[in-house]
Structure 1
């Protein structure tokens, strides 16, 4: 059962990684997974929270950082070392099929911390800002999805790594947004 699931995962990986290969994705998707590319967005969120929400903005940013920390800790520090799955770009059986679009990295693959962290952040932000700005739902989900999908396209994660990371992130985002709503100071 596990073997056939891994086989399916590798085949789907190759369909995305090689089958969707094109110059636009080759240029765009490595950018989408780069944390420095998104730095202006992160800065905007910080400034927006401080200007728009004043003291409550500090609380939102604190909870946002807590959401990120939980996601990163669970995915990178707990689950990845426990599972120990190699990244596809480090897998010897796929060596001839990998297109090196970004450096591979030496860490483990399962689950994708990028997917976990960005879905957790997106879900948290959706719950915080949805009442005042409805478009955050599709924008937040699309943002997290493109980052997660990029991980497969560039060759550093299998589809199941990304799917599990996304679900984990959604759960974390739901939990921290519930905690946020419960503990929200009346400022």
Structure 2
């Protein structure tokens, strides 16, 4: 059963990665680069500052730091200790059939995607905070997180299962930290 899932993951990876063309490589490299998302984060911070009280803002900023730390450390635990699953670009039977868009592959292990989990966790957390003020912000942030996840497959550094797991973990953590924020606001604000 596990072998069949791994084989299916490889086949889906080759299909999705194979959809890429040099014309789109720059776009997906832009999406996958976390530093290019800084203007988006700055814009979301401005929206949070405009729609929340001082204590709510403080809770939000502290919880964003906690959220990123938790998702990063969980991804690292899975990658470097629990699963040790090679990235596609280090998987011998895929190397000559795939497109590696990045200059380098990154660390040896890739299960699960930290980019996908961080993007989804932030999208869920911030989307849930802002949705009462901005009708379309939550679905737009989810779409952005899916784009970030797909970019990892497109550039050749993660399997679809890595990305899907990262998105699920990010959704769970984003929701949990949002609920913690609600509790803190009720208790202390």
Normalising by the residue count of structure 2, what TM-score does the alignment of the two structures yield? 0.91
Give the distance between the partners of 1:57 and 1:107, measured in 2 at CA. Answer: 38
Unaligned runs of 5+ residues in structure 1 are none
Runs of 4+ in 1 over 4 A off after TM superposition: none
Greater displacement, 54-63 / 105-114: 54-63
Which residue in 2 is equivalent to 1:4?
Answer: 4
Count of paired positions: 185
* CA deviation map 1:17-66 (0-9, x unaligned): 01x12244322111101011111112223344345435232221211221
Considering fraction of residues, name the structure with more helix: 2
Which residue in 1 is equivalent to 2:30?
Answer: 31
Which residue in 2 is equivalent to 1:123?
Answer: 124
Unaligned runs of 5+ residues in structure 2 are none
* CA deviation map 1:106-135 (0-9, x unaligned): 241111111111111111011111111121
What is the alpha-carbon root mean square deviation over aligned residues? 1.6
Which residue in 2 is equivalent to 1:63?
Answer: 63
1:49 matched to 2:27 = no
Normalising by the residue count of structure 1, what TM-score does the alignment of the two structures yield? 0.92
Distance 1:12 1:109, change over 3 A: same
